Amino acid sequence: MRRFGLYITILLLLGHSSCTSYLDVKNKGEVIPKTAEEFSALLHGHLNDIDKASEYAFFGAPSNALAFECCTDNLDGNLITIIDLDPISIREQINSLSGKYTSLYDVIKDCNIVLHELKERDTEFGKKLLATAYTLRGVCYYNLMRDFCEPYNKDRANEQLGVPLVEKFDMEGTPERATLKATADLIIEDLQEAIKLNQTDKQYRFHVEVAKAYLARVYHWTQNWELAASTAKEVLEVYPLLRGEAYKEMIQSEVKQMGNELLRSGIAQASGYVYREMRRSKYRPVSLDLVKLFTEKEKDIRYTFFFDAEFLNTKMVKTTLRGAEMCLIMAESYAQMDDTRNALQYLNHLRANRISDYAPYTEHNLPGIDASALVKVDAHGKTLTPLISAILNERRKELYLEFDRWYELKRNGSPVMWWGYNGVKFETPKFMYVFPIPRTDMALNPGLIQNPGYEEL
């Protein structure tokens, strides 16, 4: 993608600041883009960062995916070989996460500029820009919701804290935190607006199917199971599952986006970068709790190339969005709606594409629930059923090292976990699944409420 020279100029003039002050550009009218090409520059800069694997706030670079995986139960923190290069728990990353908060609002700023200042709205080019801006803004708020808010509770969403919502220019505005329901509603509205515009140009990365996939994610996160299943089904029909060597080639591709990947990072990045992250991923072995979930062993293609005989990672480190996640969203959503037949159908659909000579799951042969497993409750806080447990375990296997496990732990009970290394206990307490609002924003806007556990920061 082209990076327009004007984009650099605009960034230098606008600068990067907190969400309470970033809109202070109206009195600098000369820096507001005038043509569609200039508005496009704002968006292409962010999209290029995904291509270069340097974006970490709204989609995530491979290095971020690896760092978050290290804070879960997928990589064994008791057996680290080089402690300085990877975090052991999320506690070590808390101070740096304020940069993610600010970066997300910086992208929202650019989206708002496009959405409210673009004059060429009825041209095909203009519609592409509007659709991309709506999708990007929705994705940014989705990430803010997942990182800086409690897990969604349908019964309390009107009471739970969301994030400050900024939809238009307001130089004097110091927005307070909206409710979690209002935050989710805005995300859904943005993605629905993008879908209406039916932007299909994949040069803009966030095309209509990506918007649908994120909408399925939002419905899944907010426990709207019926819409999660139907929206995910639309995406899965366009990006069906792969199997065998085609699946392996897609997963292990160093640079090329292929197969049923809707979006991936690093498609313009040299292989040296991939090599570095792959080397870092071997500094601790894959957890035996994860390994033992592959009960079919060599019959499961993932078992043959996700890790080696010493249980060191061999799966390609990258951030991606692909069709398999939609299949898993459908399986869980149907299970939560007590539609066991469809839940088993899509759970077995994924397993049939991963395991040779597999035995389909039925209500009568589902694996028992592991009492020692970290996750003990589902998204509603209810004790796991064998069906939900099997779906969550399949998701854990399938999306290993794809920036998923941390959020699955948060969504399903936010369990306290810890690793013991070199005589020190590294604990992730429950409150740290919700990240702190940056101190700079708290100081600039006294109306903001800090998340519990960080009041003294």
pLDDT at 294: 98
How far is it, in rounded angstroms, from Cα 290 to Cα 107? Answer: 36
How far is it, in rounded angstroms, from Cα 417 to Cα 82? Answer: 21
Backbone angles phi, psi at 276, to 5 degrees: -60, -45
pLDDT at 127: 96
pLDDT at 423: 79
Three-point CA angle 421, 424, 428, nearest 5°: 85
pLDDT at 455: 81
For residue 355, the cross-strand partners are 300
pLDDT at 87: 75
Give me the count of residues in the chain.
457
Three-point CA angle 87, 90, 333, nearest 5°: 120
Task: Decide: 450 and 438 in contact? Cβ < 8 Å.
Answer: no
- Taking 70 as the pLDDT cut, the residues of the chain under it are 1-31, 82-86, 169-173, 269-271, 457
How far is it, in rounded angstroms, from Cα 385 to Cα 366? Answer: 10
The structure tokens listed for 421 are 């290394």
Distances from the Cα of 230 to the Cα of 197, 209, 322, angstroms? 20, 13, 16
Closest by Cα among 24, 57, 15, 60 to 321: 60
How far is it, in rounded angstroms, from Cα 295 to Cα 308? Answer: 16
Cβ neighbors of 122 (< 8 A, separation 6 or more) are: none
DSSP 8-class letter at 366: P
CATH code of domain 5-434: 1.25.40.390
pLDDT tens track for 216-238? 999 999 999 999 999 999 999 99
Query: Tokens 């095909």 label which residue?
Result: 124
Query: Tokens 């569609």 label which residue?
Result: 36
Task: Decide: 324 and 251 in contact? Cβ < 8 Å.
Answer: no
Which amino acid is residue 130, in one-letter code? L
pLDDT at 32: 80
How far is it, in rounded angstroms, from Cα 266 to Cα 255? Answer: 6
pLDDT at 457: 59
Handedness of CA 349, 352, 355, 360 (dihedral sign): positive
Three-point CA angle 352, 323, 256, nearest 5°: 110
pLDDT tens track for 381-417? 999 999 999 999 999 999 999 999 999 999 999 999 9
Closest by Cα among 2, 212, 38 to 113: 38
Q: Which helix (H) or strand (E) holds 389?
A: helix 386-398
Burial class (CB in 10 A: 0-12, 13-18, 19+), 168: exposed
Query: Tokens 């908060």 label which residue?
Result: 101
Task: Decide: 274 and 64 in contact? Cβ < 8 Å.
Answer: no
How far is it, in rounded angstroms, from Cα 345 to Cα 327? Answer: 10
How far is it, in rounded angstroms, from Cα 165 to Cα 142? Answer: 12
Task: Decide: 391 and 335 in contact? Cβ < 8 Å.
Answer: yes
pLDDT at 422: 78
Burial class (CB in 10 A: 0-12, 13-18, 19+), 364: exposed
Q: Count of CB atoms within 10 A of residue 223's CB?
A: 19
Domain ranges of the chain: 5-434
Instruction: Tell me the residue ranges of DSSP E strands in 268-388.
Output: 320-322
How far is it, in rounded angstroms, from Cα 138 to Cα 267? Answer: 23
Distances from the Cα of 267 to the Cα of 97, 102, 253, 414, angstroms? 25, 25, 10, 33
